[in-house]
Amino acid sequence: METAEIARRFLSFFEKNGHTVVPSASLIAEDPTLLLVPAGMVPFKPYFLGQRTPPFETATSVQKCIRTKDIEEVGKTSRHATFFQMLGNFSFGAYFKEQAIPLAWELVTTPVADGGFGIDPERLWVTVYLDDDEAAAIWRDKVGVRPERIQRMGMEENYWSMGVPGPCGPCSEIFYDRGPEYGVEGGPEADENRYIEIWNLVFMQYERGEGGDKSGFPILGDLPKKNIDTGLGLERLAAVLQGVDNIYETDIIGRVLHRAAELAGVRYGDDHGQDVLLRVVADHVRSAVMLVGDGVKPGNEKAGYVLRRILRRSIRNMRLLSGTDTAYMHDLTAVSIDAMKDIYPDLADKADVIHGVIDTEEAGFADTLRSGTTLFTRAAERTRHAGGTVFSGSDAFQLHDTYGFPIDLTLEMAAEQGLTVDETAFRELMQRQKDTAKADAKAKKLGNADVSLYAQLLEGAGATDFLGYTDVLSESAVRGIVVGGVSSPAAREGEKVEIVLDRTPFYAESGGQLADTGTLTVEGRAVVDVEDVQKPLPGLFVHRGTVRAGEIAVDDTVHAAIDTGRRHAIERSHSATHLIHSALRNALGPSAGQAGSENSPGRLRFDFTADNALGESRLSEVEEEVNTVLSGDIAVRTEEKTLDEALKMGALAMFGEKYGDRVRVVEMSDYSVELCGGTHVPSTARLGIVKLLGESSTGSGVRRVEALVGVDAFRRLSKESALVGRISEQLKSPREELPERIDSVVSRLRAAEKEIERLRAAQVLQAAGSIAERARRHGPALVVAEQAPEGAGGDELRALAADVRGRLGEAEPAVVALTAVPKDRPVVVIAVNKAAQKAGIKAGDLVGVAARALGGGGGGKPDIAQGGGTDASKVDEALRAVEARVAGA
């Protein structure tokens, strides 16, 4: 029975028994205490906790789940998987044990022809909690399970809670007997490898207090309502009903696994180590597809890190299996989407997005692996040569810091070479880097002063009066001076200084708008160049700069003057940001919310929430809309209102901003209305033009557009026009015909490159005859072991090895070992004839010998196999190792 049919039957059975079918919730958990959904009951948790009133008394679902707690065990056992689906039926006070138990038994044992799963009752055992006599009696008297098939277990196995105070209760589980070939008799308490759990029925009837996770907590009393929460693992049941050994061989996961084996040139079942790698790939690719389908993007935090980790494990395992750096994820992703779409049809609609995210991550990780693996190999060799078994924390940190190597990958690679990693030292270095980064950021924005010093300045001098909305000049009094992180009565020429004024026209960096620069002048005595302005505390403006001449002191009166050219350029960028935000919302809908911005002189960047790229055509539409609006010379009005008034009039609140009772509203007619504390142009015509430079991704669900404004935009367009003119002149083609002309040139170039590749391959194959003539006997076989002609890649190498093998015939055992170094990565191909295979010489064994010498791995079939490594200097050593192995065969 196919997996999709199992899910359909489950939902149909419970729907016929009065349950509401509820679609699977997203893998991204709404529960703030969870990262991803780890169990089928999670979407119903608010109903069980009484936080919400359920819209139905009973429900049934097929819930997508992700668990990464035991990720290291994935592939090693038949039970562990990162992504799985939990079939469940739920009751919110409508029924309890006396109905839940018979329903489960009925569905499991009803013949297939009658809509059930058709499992022989004689293959089933059940467990109940130690003192749950009620459940045991129902199984025995109402269902008819023989008493010897009912076993009692303790809290570790048969009692459920969320691990925190709240609902809890005993469980009853159904186990399937896989047969004597899987272990000893005696039921689940004797052997859980032979007897596997397929269904867990939780009787949620008590409230627990503080205590341990699985046991050791007090029972505080009964719940107001007794609830049912059951979970049947879809993949486990599929393995049972499809008669396969484990979940990785079922119809859906198995399709990915066997395609991975085919792509890698290996066969599932031939080698345990390879089988584990294949199972990890199959599980992780499916998990990645489902995570991306639910909107997760690879990143370094939270769900994004989970996705990045499982994708990188998949990519690296495929490289180990195939011995090449070929990109396989696109193919495997397509297989997984096709296998899962019967249960989740939306995957087909999201296929382009899923492919785009996974392909991009694979390409990025390829660069990480290429550079990082070389460093890892050298460090590991250094450790072994020194007689050590611990990979240093400093080397692990360098891999992470310089090459982006995740610590999990370093741990795996070290374990493969029999090494451990000094994780304690690694964590200490990571923490030291974080502390340094925080200190650097603080120094950049606030000098080296302690925040308590700014608190004293604010208390003593009072809040700074900001005049910058209307004035660019002011006469101000110096209320405080900080030099070298401490308060000072004065600052002299050449010193870095921080100055607090009673009032200022200088805008302090906030809301994405960069700070003003300018000068503070003490008439006839001192000049300070203001390079930055920050607000370390609300209301306190700190002017950072350098004393250019003279001496400035507390209580001096200064002439404060901002750089008006810079201010006006920043204002143009800031106003353009508001227009771009509105145009994006018009194009994408209200979901395109601001996620950050930076407004600098003549240039801006704007981050917004979106799942997919805009595309060139939509980006052009946004740019055209913005320029159309600003050319209308719309007045930019600002007004102060209460927060409630501003929100009622439709003003947008910006990302990351905190608002008081009174807010500033910036209006550009009804096209753009936003809460904003920044400065702006008086009318949109002041912007001149806005040129969008492009759009990119900055992380999970966040896109970024960058733009030039005013004169900067004009200069960019002028340069582009001149460049187009030069190309037009060189190609002797009118500007309007350039796209077709360039396409034609590129097409001819690609055709020429393909022809060159064809000729190079032919040239490589021409060497087959002379290579075969150089065969020499080593032990029982003729052996050719040498480097292929220059220009050979992996495909050419395989073809050449097969050709040489054919020329050596079948009269006696023959082995062909050829190497090449395309793109500075050594590759080895081993081909053996049938006579050699009969003599016990296998290509897969020999390629492992060569690949290990190269610092890598490989695999393949008995007649031909391929591997690779990272150390091109060891090519001759690898060939000699193959000769030695054959000689000793």
End-to-end CA distance of the chain: 47
How many Å separate Cα 281 from the centre of its chain?
16
Measure the CA–CA gap between 323 and 321, rounded to whole angstroms: 6
Asked if 526 contacts 552 with a C-beta cutoff of 8 angstroms, the reply is yes
Q: List, in order, residues 6 or more apart from 545 with CB less than 8 Å away.
A: 496, 497, 499, 520, 528, 529, 530, 531, 532
Q: Positive or negative CA dihedral for 592, 594, 598, 601?
A: positive
Give 242's DSSP letter.
T
Q: Are 826 and 325 in contact (CB under 8 A)?
A: no
SS3 605: strand
DSSP code of residue 465:
E
d(CA 649, CA 652): 9
CB hemisphere CA count around 443 (13 angstroms): 9
DSSP 109-133: HS-GGGTS----GGGEEEEEETT-H
Query: Which DSSP state fits 387?
Result: T
3-state SS assignment for residue 566: helix
Residue 578, annotated as binding a ligand: yes
Where do runs of H (alpha helix) occur along 472-615?
Answer: 564-588
Q: What stretches of 189-340 show up as alpha helix (H) in DSSP?
A: 234-241, 251-264, 272-293, 302-322, 329-340
Identify whether the C-beta of residue 220 lies closer than 8 Å to the C-beta of residue 74: no
Question: Is 680 annotated for ligand binding?
Answer: yes
Contact 542, 510 (CB under 8 A): no
In 669-775, beta strands by DSSP E: 672-675, 690-699, 702-709
Structure tokens that stand for 394 in this block: 């400093």
Indicate the pairing of strand 124-129 with strand 83-92.
unpaired
How far is the C-alpha of 325 from the C-alpha of 346, rounded, in Å? Answer: 31
Return the exposure string of 78-111: e unless at least 16 CB atoms fall within 10 Å of the residue's CB, then b: bbbbbbbbbbbbbbbebbbbebbbebbbebbbbe
**Would strands 672-675 and 662-668 be described as parallel, antiparallel, or unpaired?**
antiparallel
Per-residue tokens: 466: 């900001």
Any known ligand binding at 65?
no
Positive or negative CA dihedral for 484, 490, 493, 499? positive
What amino acid occupies position 568? H
Q: Which two tokens stand for residue 91?
A: 């009751």
Tally of residues, the chain: 889
Provide the 10 A C-beta neighbour count for residue 725.
11
State the Cα angle at 187 between 184 and 189, rounded to 5°: 95
Beta bridge mates, 202: 171, 229
Task: Name residue 356's beta-bridge partners.
Answer: none
State the Cα–Cα distance between residues 148 and 140, nearest whole angstrom: 10
- Which positions ≥6 away from 816 have C-beta within 8 Å? 783, 784, 801, 804, 805, 808, 829, 830, 831, 832
3-state secondary structure of 869: coil
String of DSSP letters for 55-69:
SSSEEEEEEEEE--T
236 token code pair? 């486990």
Collapsing DSSP to helix, strand or coil, 220 comes out as: strand
Give the containing element (helix H, strand E) for 793: none
385 annotated ligand-binding residue: no
Q: Determine which helix (DSSP H) or strand (DSSP E) holds 646, and give its type and residue range.
A: helix 643-648
Q: State the binding site.
A: 574, 578, 676, 680
- Binding-site positions for Zn(2+) read 574, 578, 676, 680
